[in-house]
Structure 1
């Protein structure tokens, strides 16, 4: 009985570390974006394609996060929010973390390749940009957020490419929506965690400070995100369509996010930055749901 209990606890610990190494919540949200893009692009929903997209998407996001935690293990030890991650805490060795990352990379690219080669290519580009460009830049320049916005914007677009094996104005529009969304989202997060990021040497805010200029840029990028989100309602984005009702709903959600962006400019405190960050998380998921529902009704 005791041996069985210990074994059960060990497996539970391994699973918990795997989930933290791959950042399971983030990975699932990325897969959600990709699936939403797939529904928007597909004429016929195929379970096999959805499974390949989900497995491939989780594999590459999980691999990106595992590689990231290996690369940043010494910096993660310096920050409160990351010091208990599996690698810096010593629960998972660098060798084992690399093995997991490599295995997930292979699983992800192969799964997406079986879906179609273009999807695998974009997935591989996302992995490369995140691990080899964005991650090193985080301690060098605030432009890291701009660079990181490229791999971060690929999932929504990836689903469309996975469904159609084509890249055009439709997936390009989905890419741009999520691209501009990331600036207010990550700068709000960077504002909240600025002190902790400084301990690790990360440069996440555009001006390097929690000031009016950073808050103003958050407002401007939120406006761009909102404008691009409703552009499909004007019939200029090919097969990607949005009804007037859908555009109004998304517009109202965007205005809520913009409200918190203006409040951050006014108050410039962590509590308001947190509200903006939470509003941005709600916005991206609800916006994608509205797009999908709008297509099918």
Structure 2
């Protein structure tokens, strides 16, 4: 009997933890934290473990809060899409009140953690939550410009790490911001291409032309080119302490050209398979170049 009760408790805790991961979009939050860590390592003169832990914890809380607010606002729309109808709120496993408590607690913890690093870090974290929940989320059903607006909070994490390490905003974190800003367009448009039918069920307008056509594919190509250009600019010595060696710049360039290849394949084929390959290439690209930037700093 005790064993059965213990099993039920374990299952309940497991479900609660699973729903918490889903309401905060744990995998996305972890990838964002990874970007912040890369930015911190690039900016830090000396690595402080406490600061790094505060950045990791605060970053996860801020992203988790944004995602929780987003799922509260879009609960009725999520119920219309195959991809999201089993999320905690539309499925009925979590109430809106519970989700709101989680979001508020994470917001407070996130802001306090980042404030312990510096007021600037906390300010940028708070701006990202505001833009994501108050501008990007409601705009998704109004205009494809939502992707442009969403690219701002999405580009903050890489930059945020540098600001957390230096308490300074200048050309270096600005460049990191621009890299991740331009990267988001091919990434999210490839994702939007794959999920276009599902998104349209909820009235989301994610593709720049509204359709899976050559116009959308061409814009993906153009933004990918801009992303590549920004990513290799540090090799020319114009970006302060943020710089790349020639070998590192070659790796970044080749990675970008690989992504550009998949963008051209999408233009040529205009199918979901090509969009998926581009989306996976984009995920690989952003993680790889962040690793290259960090390794290059410490071996140069």
Q: Under a length normalisation based on structure 2, what TM-score does the superposition of the two structures give? A: 0.99
Shift of 1:7: 0.3
Q: 2:101: which partner in 1?
A: 99
Q: 1:160: which partner in 2?
A: 162
- Is 1:280 the counterpart of 2:277 in the alignment? no
- Is 1:116 the counterpart of 2:118 in the alignment? yes
Unpaired runs of at least 5, structure 2:
none
Q: 1:16: which partner in 2?
A: 18
Shift of 1:201: 0.4
TM-superposition CA deviations, 1:176-195 (whole Å, max 9, x none)? 00000000000000000000
The separation in 2 between residues aligned to 1:114 and 1:87, in whole angstroms, is 33
Unpaired runs of at least 5, structure 1:
none
**TM-align CA RMSD:** 0.3
- Which residues in structure 2 correspond to 1:166-185 (within 5 Å)? 166-185=168-187
- Which residues in structure 2 correspond to 1:232-247 (within 5 Å)? 232-247=234-249
TM-superposition CA deviations, 1:147-202 (whole Å, max 9, x none)? 00000000000000000000000000000000000000000000000000000100
- Which residues in structure 2 correspond to 1:1-297 (within 5 Å)? 1-297=3-299
The separation in 1 between residues aligned to 2:289 and 2:198, in whole angstroms, is 31
The separation in 2 between residues aligned to 1:33 and 1:87, in whole angstroms, is 28
Q: How many residues align?
A: 297
The separation in 1 between residues aligned to 2:220 and 2:162, in whole angstroms, is 28
Shift of 1:80: 0.2
The separation in 2 between residues aligned to 1:188 and 1:8, in whole angstroms, is 39
TM-superposition CA deviations, 1:105-163 (whole Å, max 9, x none)? 00000000001110000000000000000000000000000000000000000000000
Report runs of 4+ in structure 1 exceeding 6 Å deviation. Answer: none
